[in-house]
Homo-oligomer: A and B are copies of this chain.
Amino acid sequence: MSISTAPSRFNSKLTSQCQNCSLSALCLPIALADEDINRLDQIIERKRPLKKGEILFHQGQAFDSVFAVRTGTLKTFNITASGEEQITGFYCPSELVGLSGIDNNSYPITAKALETTTVCEIPFSHLENLTSQIPSLKHQLFRVMSRKISDDQQMMVLLGKKNADEKVASFLLNLSNRFKKRGYSATSFRLAMSRGEVGNYLGLAVETVSRVMTRFQKNELIEVDGKEISIINLSEMQKLVGIADDCARIADI
Contact = CB atoms under 8 A, between A and B. Distances in A.
Contacts of A49: none
B149 A86 contact: no
A79 interface: yes
Interface in A207-243: 241-243
Contacts of A131: 138
Given A128-B138, A152-B156, A156-B156, A246 B161 contact: no
B138 A80 contact: no
Closest 6 CB pairs of A and B: A81-B242, A160-B203, A102-B146, A159-B159, A103-B146, A103-B147
Interface residues of A, number: 54
A61 interface: no
Interface of A: 59, 78-82, 84, 86, 88-89, 99-104, 108-109, 128, 131-132, 135, 138-139, 141-150, 152-153, 155-157, 159-161, 200-203, 241-247, 249
Contact of A132 (B135, B245, B249): B135
Contacts of A108: 150, 153, 246, 249
A131 B101 CA distance: 20
Number of copies of this chain in the oligomer? 2
Listed residue (A79, A147, A159) with the most chain B CB atoms within 10 angstroms of its CB: A159
Contacts of A150: 100, 103-104, 108-109
Contacts of A156: 86, 88, 152, 155-156, 159
Contacts of A246: 59, 78-81, 108
Contacts of A104: 147, 150
Nearest to A149: B100
A22 B179 CA distance: 48
